[in-house]
Structure 1
Amino acid sequence: MSHQKIVVTGIGATSPLGGTARESWDALLAGESGIRSLEHDWVSQYEIPVTFAGEAKVAATEVLARPTAKRLDPSSQFALVAAMEAVADAGDLNVEPERLGVDWATGIGGVWSLLNAWDTLRERGARRVMPLTVPMLMPNAPSAAVSMHFEARAFARTVASACASSTESLSNAYEHLQSGLADVVIAGGSEAAIHPITLAAFNSMQALSRRNDDPATASRPYTTSRDGFVMAEGAAALVLETEERALARGARIYAELAGGGVTADSYHITANDPEGRGASRAVELALAQAGATPDDVTHINAHATSTPVGDIAEYTALRTVLGDRVNDIPVSATKASTGHLLGGTGALEAIFTVLAIAERTAPPTINLVDRDPEIPLTVSGERQALSDGPQLAISNSFGFGGHNAVAAFRSV
């Protein structure tokens, strides 16, 4: 099997920072925060201890036609919004339906549809449960929605590996294109899990920040005062195809998806391996698939969730692979601005990574109020210019269950 360059020709996103990929990127570069107090009756009704999150800046229902939105869980709504933007951005794909595939991801799936149906059952009886409940709650619903909208018939696959999900979907898309299973793949991930039960549950395991008095500064990776991640929602999508095909149709190419690495810690259901062994192997695999060495890395979009143990475990993993040089590579920890989109976060950060190397700019990491001396990375509250010459950036995602996924991107 011949090796081909796989390139990114379209991007789309809806996030706490903006309703499109470009709006999200511009807000990120401006140092804005997408984290706000929640203005829902259920916050006080259920006495939710954490009263803030990163809700999508633009509701999907403002973008989609009402009949379409009504048949989809919010996670599928976000997926369709991001994918529509990405496909429009890519231009005329000119691809047969049987050669168009979807590699999508979610960490939790249609939690709102599931729990709304449970409420209906308890309060109004079985006959009032909506017939579309199962198609709306199933984790593959976002992938199916994207597939049906674009008549993508090569495949419509779903990854559910917690917070590593959509980075894993990119790795899968790379392999599916290399193996000739499709000519074009729409890859990405979505999540809509800002719900009383998820906030209460994550809070019970002491995973969430509790800075209710100042939500915008709650996500603060690499600081000594970090106290947990911030829940967020949204989606991101990338259109991927071979470079040969993209050039033939005159497409704009953002960057090359040079490789991916997927591993498992097999250590603990929620905690990172403190030695970062699975994470470091994922980085090594991504670089190997890219035909790159640790010395080639010029930028890192870190997973950096702002948890006390997670941030330092990732640093340990990076140092294992990159050595002392890791401290000199420009790093961005963009969850400080966006919060954590769970299954959608890897795809959103992949877009940020692609734009960083395309525009030679590492976005700022906000809320660096008290740097942790145990994590001496080159990370800044201001945007950082990337070096001249070829760029090779990695984007890291790690999830509950010990899932690790890393994507490598190269400038074109």
Structure 2
Amino acid sequence: MTMWVIGLVLLAFGGGVWLGASRWRRLATEGSRDAVGLRLLHELAEGDYEHVAAELEAICEAEPHEPAVFLALAAIDRHRGRLSRAKALHRVVLASSELEHDERVAGLVGLGRDLLTEGNVPAAAGALNRANSLAPSSPATLESLARALDRAGAWEPSATAWERLERHVSGRRARAARVGRGRALAGQALDALRLGETEKARKLAARGLELAPDSGFAWLVEARAAASAHDALVAWQRAWELAGVGAGTIVAEGMQWARENDRVAALVARLRGSLRGTAHPASVVALASELYDHDSEAAVSAWQRVADHSSEAQLALLRTAVAGLDLPGVEPALLEPGPSAFVCLACAATVDEFAFRCSHCGRWDSLCDARAPRRRTRQRLDDLPAAD
């Protein structure tokens, strides 16, 4: 009997030791995971994406049943431009039959963003719609879906998605959602104008301006849909002031409208006002070029003001300086401005025609002038003889 009691005591003691050791190992493992996660967060904050990706790859090999690690690695790959592997990782995660609900939603949102970055808008919208059906209140899902619908030109469902997102977020994200909805309403107004529904277009454009008062796209649509000449003049001025490098395109369209509606003098007065108040070189060049035929001295003064920062201003001054000179061997075409070229600051794509949204990545207000300034030309302008 005594031996049985001693045996039971030893068995209980051994079991306790084994359970304690197992718990200690589990806590140690969890502690090391927390330490690794914290270290990776610090490296990510420092911008060391390559090392973070290498660490995540090692964790994926050691623990292939951790979908969160695969999703994190896919997000890093998308940021690094490795879209093929990011899509493959998201599809590997989504192929699992043991995914939690939140992990499946995250996988679909990630895949949708991969496809959207790649430019496959219909497939991206499909993946994001599936994610939205699983998590209709997810801010990440709603934002990605709204951007995909924007890219597809589906303005009405896009406005709905932005409105739903605005209800579920606050602060800066809510303001961004409001601006997105304003642009979507302006897009609807543009579609209504094309269909000849002028009154509907005016209401949509006005509502879009209320939500996105600093959007050049919304002001451009308002200018096209305005009921009165005064409202149109105000809208044209705000549109070209917000266009930046695309001011020339907006000014040219505005001047065409002014000629058709006998409002050239009023628009020129607004050109002078904008020219006095702007310091953006591309805007100054565009406004001064349109103003030159009406007030050459003001235009030349404006070009001189930005010549150190704009090759187009330098070329405009050069053309003005040699306009009355007989220069043998100089072809007139050499003094003509070259074709416009723009570069997207988000995706580095080259765009020939200005638009408020990049046609490659869908980013709004991201285009800059692709032509670098040539300061040496500015230094030689004073050496030219004066025109008669």
TM-score by length of 2: 0.28
Question: Which protein shows a greater Rg?
Answer: 2
Q: Tell me which of the two structures has the higher relative contact order, counting C-alpha pairs closer than 8 angstroms and 6 or more residues apart.
A: 1
Structure (1 or 2) with the greater helix fraction: 2
TM-score by length of 1: 0.27
